Chain A
Amino acid sequence: MITIENLREFGADVDTGVKRCLDDENFYIELVKSVIPDTRIDELEQCIKDKDLDKAFEVAHALKGMYGNMSLLPIYEPINQATEFLRSRKDVDYLSFINEAKAQKQKLIDMNNARK
């Protein structure tokens, strides 16, 4: 279950995120839930596999903005690093960042599915 406490435990900067939502915790949780069905981390992975770094940057940039605004730091951090490398089209191991982001996203999904 996604709650303020669970998110805090997850490592999200809940205070900043809630503040951006004009201190409306429910609105913040609603937004966090809204990213669960988002499949763009998979899309990013595919772009990397296809070596389409331009498209990958566009997707990574959008994800960075989204997770950044909600301060979901465990997902934001690897995405942010990937974005910065993609900006200069560097040849690095993007999949390691993506796998980390996917693992963290899975935790969020599990949290949403859990009863508590």
Chain B
Amino acid sequence: MEEETSFSKVGIRRLVLIVDDEHVNRRILGRIIEKEYDVIYAENGQEAYEQIKKRENTLSMILLDLIMPVMDGYQLMALLREDPKYSKIPVIVLTAERTAEAKSLQIGASDFIPKPYDMPEVILARVKRLIELAEDKTIISAIETDALTGLYTKEFFCQHAIIHDNYYPDMPMDAVVLNVNRFHLINELYGRLFGDKVISTIADQLKSIVSETDGIAGRAGSDSFFIYIRHNSDYSVLLDRIVNGLINGTGNSSINLRMGVYQNVDKNTDPEHRFDRAQFACNTIRSGYTNGFVLYDDTMYKRELYSNKLIDDMHVGVENRQFKVYYQPKFDIIGDKPVLRSAEALIRWDHPEYGMVPPGSFVPLFEENGLVQKLDRFVWEEAAAQAKRWKEKFGVTIPVSVNVSRLDIYDPELEKRLLSLVERNGIDPTDYVLEITESAYTDNSEQIIDTVNKLRAHGFRIEMDDFGAGYSSLNMVAALPIDALKLDTQLIRKIDESEKELRMVQLIIDIAGFMKISVIAEGVENEKQYQLLKEAGCSIIQGFYFSKPVLPEEFERLIEEKIRKTPERGTL
């Protein structure tokens, strides 16, 4: 089994340097050695040193004469011993002098070959043994091969990938990860023995593939394989070959494989990294019921790394106040002129590395893993405290709305938490508006109706956010206890271009009006959209046409302006 994965099987011939000033000696020795090794020559120590520097990674052995012009063997050995890059290359001294043998061993030679070269087989055997010993020493691994398949273990595989690169630095290579879909189920359904059969059959296919393609193969996990092979542009052929081999070998055609390929690897990255990329590509294959492969895409990977970094940095970001709450004004447009009505609190992240990160980049991520709750609570606190500050400063209450994520709905402490918040900040719950995304309502209607009813009973106002972005249902609007509908930007965007969109918005506003629910339009960007919405009977709008989300200090200018125009005190 070990033979299957040995170097010679994958076509790597070791390189031996013969250093002798005498051409006849070089040629005779070269004849012996070249039966099994590639051979290069040098006529003296200096020439040899130049050769060694060029081939430090691929030179497996130096056969060294001692007495030579320019630089003799002793001087060269001393140079090599000094440098850790070269000191690991085994040296066999070629000598006719009995007295030189002991000395050469003392200064670091691994062995010696007496001149003249009377026993060619012995010379070859010594060279071979010493190369093997030196390599075993270099590749430190307790277990070189996987017992079931005879393939390299993951660690050993990576070492061999490095050695492969040293020998073939210019060969374009692909890193391939092969996984068996739902392998645990195969073990469960057909038994462990069958599972082993599947793995060893795949391994046999891989062995025959790598023996033809200058590559190496390893078993990276219970159902995972690594293959490092010469660049190949069509992986469907390779995958078909493995799949067919698996069907023939096991008689079972229901086992599916997925393959991730990182083509033309960047050899400046370490092998683990290359296979991370191939694994990443492999993991993007979601279906477990077909055979398939995906080629690694750098952009996709960078996006993933970026997302992971954002997730990792979130807690520190909150602690270091990298998150800032911006406020976007909502304007009442029922009268002649738009009047400031309230503010929506929106999160922004001033990331130390990436600068301003748009919420679209991190909110959906944090929603996936629950981190969004921490962020929501941070915004709730900030917004309530801000409302309190404005009330103290201007003597008016500016209603603020905050986002409540789907996960918050399931928080049994939600009611208590929000009540405590408004109490602590001296705000009336009616001035603290909760925006719940439309999709949360479709998730678990009963729970949400229950929660929303309780919150409304305390006086909180509820707005259904992002209406029209997902699978909206007018029936849902009728069934849910809400105070306002917020039309999603996507619905508003085209009303000034498309009659159809405008009619739809009109219809929603009419129905909402019938049900005494006010309608807020988000993402209003121009005069035309504003006019159309006003004519359609929309009561409140929010969008860049009036103001982008701004920091509290800037928002205060709007409050001051409003107070100037309508100096009565109280709620805006």
Residues of A within 8 A of B (CB): 16, 19-22, 24, 27, 31, 34-35, 58, 61-62, 64-66, 68-71
Contacts and interface: CB of A to CB of B under 8 A. Distances in A.
A81 to B, nearest CB: 14
B97 to A, nearest CB: 9
Nearest to B121: A22
A70 B27 CA distance: 11
8 contacts: A19-B120, A20-B120, A21-B28, A21-B31, A22-B31, A22-B32, A65-B116, A69-B25
B118 interface: yes
Nearest to A68: B116
Given A22-B31, A22-B32, A31-B27, A66 B22 contact: yes
Contact of B118 (A16, A24, A62): A16
B10 interface: no
Interface string B55-89: 00000000001010100000000000000000000
Contacts of A24: 31
Contact of A31 (B28, B96, B117, B120): B28
B31 A65 contact: no
A34 B28 CA distance: 12
Interface in B1-42: 20-25, 27-28, 31-32
B103 interface: no
B115 interface: yes
A66 B25 contact: yes
Contacts of A65: 20, 22, 25, 65, 96, 115-116
Nearest to A61: B67
A34 B116 CA distance: 18
B69 A20 contact: no
Contacts of B31: 21-22, 24, 27
Interface string B113-140: 0011110100000000000000000000
B166 to A, nearest CB: 30
B408 to A, nearest CB: 84
Contact of A35 (B24, B32, B118): B24
A96 B490 CA distance: 108
Nearest to B67: A61
Interface string B376-392: 00000000000000000
Contacts of B65: 65
Nearest to B69: A58
Given A31-B28, A34-B24, A69-B25, A19 B118 contact: yes
Contacts of A22: 31-32, 120
Contacts of A27: 31
A62 B23 contact: no
B44 to A, nearest CB: 11
A31 to B, nearest CB: 5
A101 B23 CA distance: 19
Contacts of A62: 21-22, 67
A78 B25 CA distance: 19
- Among all A-B residue pairs, the 7 with the closest Cβ atoms: A69-B116, A66-B24, A66-B22, A68-B116, A61-B67, A20-B117, A62-B22
A47 to B, nearest CB: 13
B92 to A, nearest CB: 16
Nearest to B32: A22
Q: Which of B115, B116, B118 has the most CB of A within 10 A?
A: B116
A27 B117 CA distance: 15
B36 to A, nearest CB: 13
A24 B23 CA distance: 17
Contacts of B20: 65
Nearest to A76: B116
A96 to B, nearest CB: 23
Nearest to A55: B69
A69 B30 CA distance: 13
A19 B159 CA distance: 40
Contact of A68 (B21, B23, B69, B115): B115
A89 to B, nearest CB: 15
B47 to A, nearest CB: 15
B28 A68 contact: no
A35 to B, nearest CB: 7
A34 B96 contact: no
A22 B120 CA distance: 7
Contacts of A66: 22-25
Contacts of A16: 116, 118
A35 B24 CA distance: 8
Nearest to A62: B22
A66 B23 CA distance: 8
